[in-house]
Structure 1
Amino acid sequence: MSHWALHFILKGVASLPLSLAQILGGLGGILAYTFSPHFRGLFQENYHYAMQLHGRTIHPLRAAAASGMLFIDSLWIWHNPQRALQLADVQDWSSVNQAVQEGRGLVMLTPHLGGFEIIPRILATHFPATILYRPARQEWLNDLIEEQRAYPNMHFVPTNLQGVRKMVKALQEGEAIGILPDQVPSGGDGVWVKFFNRYAYTTPLPARLANRNRTPVILFSAIRKSLGQGWIIKAQRLNAFSEDPHQAATQMNEAIETVILEAPEQFIWSYNRYKHPEGAELPPQG
């Protein structure tokens, strides 16, 4: 299938009613789990371990379907931002406003959970937001993502030194920055700490940026409601991070785990969270 054809299909799916798009996404997740050994292998290893660790018994096909819905939610939100905002049930936004009013900017953490792509758009309706992202390896896919993600008051910067400098500048101007905290950083940019009791290479960047000027850090979640009904948006202000990068990354991962366990089937378990990036030191044993 050509890139243009896939581009057209994805846009077509994003144009459907949300409930129908999510059904298709769920079917796609089940098909990937059934027929893709790579998807199923990563999914089973990550999901089963985390569920056993916390005594949960959610059927893997249900979680695989929810994983497919996560991808479709993102497409749908990009294509229908105003409709998506109307379906966002925002809870306790006062904590966000209070943090911003302190005048030191805001560090926004949004793990890959549910309809996470709606969160920066909610923020952007109130104040400017600079979002750190990792460009896709395929040029056509990166072009599609950049085109669809574009939104007023949102600025995307790549995961490099120039992008970090732009985020520092945004914080200095009292604006918000957004980081995906559960994404594996490049070798040399992370630390090995536990995530669901397994060592995962984790970014210390949120803590480093927040500790520069005591910037508030808020962990957001967007948990999917029933089909076509949108998402429940929650915002939790985290305690100040430790100056030690390992302790700070551990604090962050523990907070992310707590949020994920509110709706564990909606997390992106097929992502290789525990990979060893090139250039990174070996993880600790045990």
Structure 2
Amino acid sequence: MRTLLLQLSLKAIAALPLSLVQIIGSFFGLLAYVGSKQYRSLFRPQYERVVKLHGLPCKLWEAIRASGMLFSDSLWIWHNPEKALKLVEVTNWDVVETAINEGHGLVMLTPHLGGFEIIPRVLAQHFPATILYRPSRQEWLNEVVETGRAYPNMHFVPTNLNGVRQMTRALTRGEAIGILPDQVPSGGEGVWVPFFGRPAYTTPLPARLANRNNTPVVMFTAKRKKIGEGWLMQATRLTPLSENANIAAAELNVAIENAVLVAPEQFIWSYKRYKHPAGAELPPTP
């Protein structure tokens, strides 16, 4: 009953105009930051370290508000896909067309930034996309996300061997696959390489899949415009990733860093990016 009430509440919020939904998301971002010491202890040091590292102005409260909009944007996109597609401005689409027309499929990378949920929907207008998805440990959240993400021409597969096999088959058919490259992989499935100057356990899976058949790898961002105005989607084709897992993961993190710096206040700074997953070797000592 509690899950049903929550789903109905989220649907009611998603029925509102995007501008109002983003304002609500902004409020919850502030609420999470003020109300949770653990949230603050993750968010602020990670954000401030990166803007200081790159000599950028610190816009902490803007980043805090934007953190709430990460979920509100996703919620609105899930429930209003056609309206959302009309509000996305796609630049350099020729990069995507050139890559997919080579016939080897496409590895689509989308960090948790801005309206990242719109990206696979844009691609699904042109060709099938198989998306790697890690189910949430919270059953209610899993139901909300799985229901919301369902969309024609998009197929979600779990982060296990079967999911990887399905992605390999999709690439063989010349289709697109999608991976969230800034997620921490399970122990034994990643390597320790720098991410904004700190060791972060990182997946080499995109390189492994791409290097099987010279598949193009494209990094996408969906930068949020002003309140209610939608998103600016950009594509950057990466140079071929190394066959060496450590080097490839390091190259991948550099590409993610460049994507984050497109709109640093819109990244998911509350995520435990530097955690040590169970079963992983210890990170290298400085």
TM-score, normalised to structure 2, is 0.98
Is 1:7 the equivalent of 2:7?
yes
Q: Any conservation in 2 of the 1:123–1:129 contact (CA below 8 Å)?
A: yes
Match of 1:49, SS state, is helix
2:211 aligns to what SS in structure 1? helix
> Equivalents in 2 of 1:110, 1:102: separation in Å?
21
Query: What is the SS of the residue equivalent to 2:194?
Result: strand
* Structure-to-structure mapping, 1:1-286, within 5 angstroms: 2-286=2-286
How many pairs are equivalent?
286
Question: Structure 2 CA distance, aligned partners of 1:69 and 1:194?
Answer: 28
1:97, 1:206 → 2: CA distance? 19
2-side partners of 1:41 and 1:61: how far apart? Answer: 15
Q: Tell me the amino acid that sits aligned with residue 276 of structure 2.
A: H
Q: 1:10 offset after TM fit, Å?
A: 1.4
The DSSP-based 3-state class of the residue aligned with 1:212 is coil
C-alpha distance in structure 1 between counterparts of 2:140 and 2:269, whole Å = 25
CA distance in 2, matches of 1:2, 1:38: 25
| Runs of at least 4 residues off by over 3 Å | none
The separation in 2 between residues aligned to 1:112 and 1:138, in whole angstroms, is 19
Q: Can you give the 5+ residue segments of structure 2 that lack an aligned partner in the other structure?
A: none
CA–CA distance in structure 2, aligned partners of residues 266 and 225 of structure 1: 11
Q: Distance in 2 between matches of 1:141 and 1:263?
A: 27
Query: How many Å separate the matches in 2 of 1:171 and 1:260?
Result: 26
Q: In structure 2, how many angstroms separate the alpha carbons of the residues matched to 1:186 and 1:79?
A: 31
Q: Equivalents in 2 of 1:211, 1:45: separation in Å?
A: 36
**Inter-partner Cα distance in structure 2 for 1:128 and 1:258:** 27
Q: Percent identity among equivalent residues? A: 64
Moved more, 66-75 or 135-144: 135-144
Separation (CA, whole Å) in 1 of partners of 2:224 and 2:58: 16
- Letter of the 1:284 partner, please give it: P
For the residues of structure 2 that align with 1:232 and 1:57, how far apart are their CA atoms? Answer: 22
1: CA distance between counterparts of 2:148 and 2:113? Answer: 19
Residue 119 of structure 1 and its aligned partner are, at CA, apart by 0.3
**Maintained 8 Å contact 1:33/1:61:** no
Q: Could you list the runs of 5+ residues in structure 1 that have no partner in the other structure?
A: none
C-alpha RMSD over aligned residues: 1.0
CA contact (8 A) 2:88 2:231 kept: yes
